Amino acid sequence: MRDGTRARSLEAMSPPKRRRVLLVDDSPHVRAVLRAVLVDADVSECADGDQVLASYEAFGPDLVLMDVRMPRMDGIQATALLKRAHPSARVVIVSDHEHDDLRAAAGRAGAEAYVVKTDLLVLREILARR
C-alpha cells in the first residue's frame, strides 16, 4: 500500500474531530441547556458580549452561539465587533425574540443564522456544516 493511501485509510478510521463552540449568553441556565444540546462538542462560555473577543481568541471556536439581549454589550454589537476582528468567525444568534428587525440586524452584523431558543435542535445541523 502506498503511503498516501495508508494515510487516508488511517484518517477514515480515526474518530471525527469534535467541533469547538463558544456560548455567549448571560443566563447560566440557557448555557447549560445549550451544552446539553451540543453534547458532542467542546464548549467554552462567556456571560456577556463584551467578553466575546477575548474568549474567541483564547478558545478558537468553530462556531459562536450568541444571545441577543445581554447587560453590557448586546449580541448584535458583539457579533459586529467579532466579525470586524475575525471575518471568518461563524456566528449564530440564539434568541428568545422572533422579530424581523432583530433577524435583519443580526444579518447585517455578520451572523450566518438566527435561531429561536424554542428550536435549539437545529443547532446540531448548523454545527455539522462545513
The answer as to whether 106 is a domain residue is: yes
Domain count, the chain: 1
The answer as to whether 48 is a domain residue is: yes
pLDDT at 127: 80
The answer as to whether 34 is a domain residue is: yes
pTM of the entire predicted model: 0.85
The answer as to whether 8 is a domain residue is: no
The answer as to whether 10 is a domain residue is: no
pLDDT at 51: 97
**For position 62, which CATH number holds?**
3.40.50.2300
pLDDT tens string, the chain, 130 residues long: the values are: 455 555 555 555 556 678 999 999 999 999 999 999 999 899 999 999 999 999 999 999 999 999 999 999 999 999 999 999 999 999 999 998 888 999 999 999 999 999 998 888 888 888 888 6
pLDDT at 13: 58
Which residues constitute the domain of residue 115?
Answer: 18-128
Q: How far is CA 87 from CA 15, 46, 82, 90, 91, in A?
A: 29, 20, 8, 8, 10
Give CA 117 to chain center in angstroms.
14
pLDDT at 43: 97
pLDDT at 108: 98
The answer as to whether 120 is a domain residue is: yes
The answer as to whether 13 is a domain residue is: no
* Beta-bridge partners for 63: 21
pLDDT at 15: 61
Whole-angstrom distance, CA of residue 109 vs CA of residue 91: 10
The answer as to whether 3 is a domain residue is: no
pLDDT at 1: 45
